[in-house]
Structure 1
Amino acid sequence: LAPLIALSGGHVHPDRTPYSEAIEMKHYLMQRYSLPENVLIVDPHARHTTTNLRNVARQMFRYGIPTDRPSLITTDLFQTAYIAGAGPDEIYGKRCLAELGFLPYQGLTNLDTLDNCWLPSAESTQQDASDLLDP
């Protein structure tokens, strides 16, 4: 088991849902696998994949989680492939640059069909005053 697990996902699906993906994942992991709450870091504000990584990177810097050691991103097959296209000329990288103005990672490597490995970028700590939903 990883020493910390970051759960990221906001109130996005379905539209206007009262449920946060991250909070629901937290409840599930605590109930199903008896994980203690203190190993789960929750980001209930992310609205899409770009803000998932940005917000988790912010939490890593804020809480002093080592940012010089690779972290694992685990998700489904399709999201893993999408995130793996993370170079600035790839779909996900272009979306990050267009929406955030920066890449929220320094390096990103695809490991297999469900996992990518990444290093967070310090640029993620910048807040966007023009985005009212930027936590």
Structure 2
Amino acid sequence: MNIWIQLENAERGERRPLAAVIDAIPWNADGLITAIAQQHDSGEVLMLAWMNREALLETLTTGQVCYWSRSRQTLWRKGESSGHRQRLVESRLDCDGDAILLRVDQHGPACHTGRPNCFYNAIRNEMVEVITAPLSH
């Protein structure tokens, strides 16, 4: 039985070895998994990015969030140049293992535009409205 079915049928508190679960992640054709960053104390969704195995393992090992930059084809250590780091508080895989939720402590804006999160374009009445201004420094 695959590990995702085992976890689906598991009782609360049951555990599986992390290495076995990571090996079972259904990485996409590019070797990536969707990663959603969420502020741990408010629940605010900050951003969506991608992780490969190396980025995931680095994040879990160091506690500093690392993604895979699809445009640059390299590891992207969040906040490395801006200082707007994400400290990992908790990580959770979804039910079939193809997405990871990173509950983080965000330092500074999460979005490269300087906004608190990347979801500032609200779809309202057949219009798209910018609902968040960049944070002042």
Tell me the TM-score normalised to structure 1 length.
Answer: 0.29
Mark the structure with the bigger radius of gyration. Answer: 2
TM-score by length of 2: 0.28
| Structure (1 or 2) with the greater strand fraction | 2
